[in-house]
Amino acid sequence: MSQCETDLFTIGAGSGGVRASRVAASMGARVAIAEDTYLGGTCVNAGCVPKKLFVYASHFHEDFEDAAAYGWSIGERRRFDWRSLLENKNREILRLNGVYARLLDEAGVERIEGRATLVDPHTVAVGERRITAATILVAAGSRPSMPRIPGIEHAITSDEAFHLERFPERAVIVGGGYIAVEFAGIFHGMGASVTQLYRGPLFMRGFDDDVRRLLADQMRKRGIDLRFEKNLTAIERSDTGLRLSVDDGSTLEADQVLYATGREPKTADLGLEEAGVELGRNGAVIVDAYSRSSVSHIYAIGDCTDRLMLTPVAIAEGIAFANTVFAGTPTRPDHTGVPTAVFSQPPLGCVGLTEAEARERCGEIDVYRSSFRPMKHTLTGRDETTMMKLIVERATDRVVGCHMVGPDAGEITQGLAIALKCGATKAQFDATIGIHPTAAEEFVTMRERVPDPEST
């Protein structure tokens, strides 16, 4: 296919697509990339970045309350201005959009605005234009999914939550994953009355059970109304807002309902199946260990493959793709040992195996767990608990899981992820001098094992 106009055409200019395109261009490839919304994808425009800014904003009400314990007097006229936050957030997002554009331009990647679809296995259409490519990379991302219930048109997803005209006084959030718990904390911190519904017995499925239970306890202490094993059956507009029917027969009143019940690959109507690309039941592009689809020259990375929907993972997959195709160095993206942070309130961080996973995979394990009040609140008196947990494979002494709920959990977990990637043992953790006084030092000072569960 030497007659092709480009060596690589990338569909989607999110974090993964942009990184893959830049790296491929640096290796001498002729690259074009198409995006039909905003550069940076979900992370920059309706995900990680605006979410973290909103989390920062939501913390101030507690910080103001805690200030008195440290000798500060805060005026009584403080108030939260939703419009000011939106304007400041939008300005930062526009700046980042520009950064992405500059990075692509400086790398020599051709930027094309518009929706790209496959006409045939080697031809992409963007509007009236047709571009042939030797290799095609699908990095189309994902979108929020919503159930089909009566009145669902009155609900919003996280996409719309970043652009609300008015801040809701009463918010109901449906879902039990990281987006749901993060927005519960955001809306609550900004002053809304928040109810969160989850259909299962305990939210944050897939995380360590101790983490899940403690987070639920801490959110309830903050005043968030958590209701497990509950779901909405209908939404209708009322004179005072929205009237919500719950599957237990009860009703709720709200100004806003946010659904955070999962995301689905954004692959519909891209022409993939017509080009011979095999898709999974949820629309995910089925790929091998090297991100290659069922068509040998078409690859896919990021959320549209439904492997791990995390920005750093998409970036790693993009780099591995470029090395495989354009550097002649077949590289598999490593999906093991990926650390995760959830910016709930309090935040949580984890890397490695949960206790349940470790018991299943490693056999005998040792568990170390510590719970304490954060030092900051020894003066404020706030009822908050930090929990840290280490899971150790007994036969090798290797640390296979680290879990934390508490301030700076994400920052601390990033360092622990390096240790686990290097195969650190509990003895090496123990031999490491802690930094005092920090919460992080607890990870290198835990010595007392949690008793083994009794056999049943």
**Catalytic amino acids?**
436
**What are 341's strand-pairing partners?**
349
CA–CA separation, 301 vs 308, rounded Å? Answer: 10
8 Å CB contact between 13 and 45:
no
Residue 288: CA count within 13 A, CB half-sphere: 11
> How far is residue 123's CA from residue 215's CA, in Å, rounded to a whole number?
49
What SS3 state is found at 124? strand
Q: Which of the 8 DSSP states describes residue 433?
A: P
Joined together, the tokens standing for residue 191 give 């002053």
Give the Cα-Cα-Cα angle 82, 87, 92 (nearest 5 degrees): 125
Long-range Cβ contact pairs of 191-195 (< 8 A, separation 24 or more)? 191/61, 191/80, 191/167, 192/167, 192/168, 193/169, 193/225, 194/223, 194/224, 194/225, 195/171, 195/224, 195/225, 195/227, 195/252, 195/254
